[in-house]
Amino acid sequence: MKRTISIMTGKGSVNHNDRKFTAENVDKRRTPDNITYCNENIRTVYHKLFDEAVKNYNARQTRSDRQIKNYYKKISRESKQEKPFQEIIVQIGDKDNMGAETQNGQLAKKILDEYMRGFQNRNPNLYVFSAHLHMDEATPHLHIDFVPFTTGSKRGLDTRVSMKGALKQQGFIGTGRSNTERAQWAESEKEALSKIMFERGIEWDEKGTHEKHKTVSEFKRDKLIEEVERLEDKKQELESDISKYKNAEEYALVTAQKLEDEALKIPEPPALMSAKKYRNDIVMPFVNKLIKIIKTLARRVFTAEKNAEKLLMQTEALKASNEKLKKVNWEKNLELSKSNVEVRKFNKIKDQFGISQVEQWLKQIDKERKLSKKVQKEK
């Protein structure tokens, strides 16, 4: 017996998954057959995972407006790259060969149950907070909701939400648009599920898992897209560094404030101390200390300004390069579209007149072209 495996991205409707409300396709009579593995409040999960990282991050900020008040709200409302959580739906076969009310459906339930119980151990960087196996719909399937997180980050929070970072820490390294971390991870999860299936007498029917052959134009287009994405990542990294150097003025003000501290005020001369001794023992050491602080301050501010200027130039160059690549990418897409139109026209001609007739015409055209070149050379 062979069956397909599907791992799809879900909408993340937690209330639907735990049956706080039921859709029309749900058979309420079979809802007691469902399995709930966990169902934590996501805000509680965020406190558990990120509170310490948020505390450490806020402690490093000298301005209150840069502190993070609520990390869950920040990711939900402000992040363009990350979602607060991810959901996948895992299924074996379909309603025709693994229907929930059939014997095969009961077998699918046992396989998915075993797969789910090993999911967290396989994925330590994907915190599962809600997981349900549904037997009250057409086909048995799993809803797995998780918060992907990465640790040890050098910028921002040391522990933060990141699907790409989480999968990288689990050993999945993307090599381009057609072979991303997520694609590798999904394939790995299918392999894990297929092993459990095989132990119960079901082979994995790998339909549609092989990538179709790409044309040269499609290959070039995908390479350009990868380059644009790489430049976008580099741009974000540089902009993050620039924001650090923009704090140079703030650093200068903080350091200048230190000059007003009691420790840096010239002490009063002790009674009976001569002016010469007061100058040599107290005033000059203080002045030297002051000069050292000012030199350090000036050097740091100068370095910060130079680095900021350099980074801004690099960012502008990246922007220009990015725009150029986007234009080339658009032109390649247009070229590909035109090529596809020509191919369709050619296929219509083949269908109408037959491949042998078309090949005969092509040979005749090629012959005439070669003859024309020969005549031009003789002239």
pLDDT band at 210 (very low <50, low <70, confident <90, very high): very low
Exposure string over 69-85, b if 16+ CB within 10 A, otherwise e: eebbeebeeeeeebebb
Q: Decide which of 338 and 72 is more confident.
A: 72
Q: Decide which of 217 and 291 is more confident.
A: 291
Q: Decide which of 274 and 324 is more confident.
A: 274
Q: Which of 67-81, 202-216, 252-266, 340-354 has the highest mean pLDDT?
A: 67-81
Task: Report the C-alpha gap between 119 and 130 in whole angstroms.
Answer: 12
pLDDT band at 33 (very low <50, low <70, confident <90, very high): very high
**Residue 220 in this model has a pLDDT that exceeds 70:** no
Q: Is 92 exposed, middle or buried (0-12, 13-18, 19+ CB in 10 A)?
A: buried
Give the tokens for residue 74: 């920040």
- Residue 51 DSSP code: H
- pLDDT value at residue 91: 95
User: Residues 115-128: what's their mean pLDDT?
Assistant: 96
Sequence ranges of the domains in the chain: 2-211, 218-340, 348-378
pLDDT band at 263 (very low <50, low <70, confident <90, very high): very low
CA nearest to 141, candidates 121, 117, 116 = 116
- pLDDT value at residue 213: 42
Task: Report the C-alpha gap between 137 and 151 in whole angstroms.
Answer: 38
- Residue 156 DSSP code: S
pLDDT band at 302 (very low <50, low <70, confident <90, very high): low
Task: Report the C-alpha gap between 5 and 207 in whole angstroms.
Answer: 9
| Residue in this structure with the two tokens 């799809």, named with its chain if needed | 8
Q: Decide which of 7 and 373 is more confident.
A: 7
pLDDT band at 79 (very low <50, low <70, confident <90, very high): confident
What percentage of the chain exceeds 90 in pLDDT?
41
C-beta separation of 315 from 242 below 8 A? yes
C-beta separation of 136 from 33 below 8 A? yes
pTM here is 0.56
User: Residues 15-35: what's their mean pLDDT?
Assistant: 82
Average pLDDT along the chain: 78
- pLDDT value at residue 103: 95
C-beta separation of 88 from 8 below 8 A? yes
pLDDT tens-place string over residues 164-192: 999 999 999 888 877 889 999 999 999 99
Task: Report the C-alpha gap between 209 and 6 in whole angstroms.
Answer: 11
C-beta separation of 94 from 125 below 8 A? no
pLDDT band at 214 (very low <50, low <70, confident <90, very high): very low
Region label for 157, one of left (φ > 0), alpha (ψ between -120 and 50) or beta (otherwise): beta
Per-residue DSSP letters for 10-43?
Answer: ----HHHHTTSS--TT--GGGGGG-EEEEE--HH
- pLDDT value at residue 262: 43
Q: Which CATH class is domain 2-211?
A: alpha beta
- pLDDT value at residue 264: 52
C-beta separation of 295 from 303 below 8 A? no
Give the tokens for residue 198: 């095989």
**Residue 85 in this model has a pLDDT that exceeds 70:** yes
Task: Report the C-alpha gap between 255 and 62 in whole angstroms.
Answer: 13
Helix axes 216-245, 284-353, angle to 10 degrees: 160
Q: Decide which of 210 and 375 is more confident.
A: 375
pLDDT band at 209 (very low <50, low <70, confident <90, very high): very low
| Residue in this structure with the two tokens 């993340």, named with its chain if needed | 12
pLDDT tens-place string over residues 310-363: 766 766 776 676 666 666 666 666 665 555 556 566 666 666 666 676 677 677
**Residue 10 in this model has a pLDDT that exceeds 60:** yes
Cα R_g (the chain), whole angstroms: 33
Give the tokens for residue 179: 């072979």
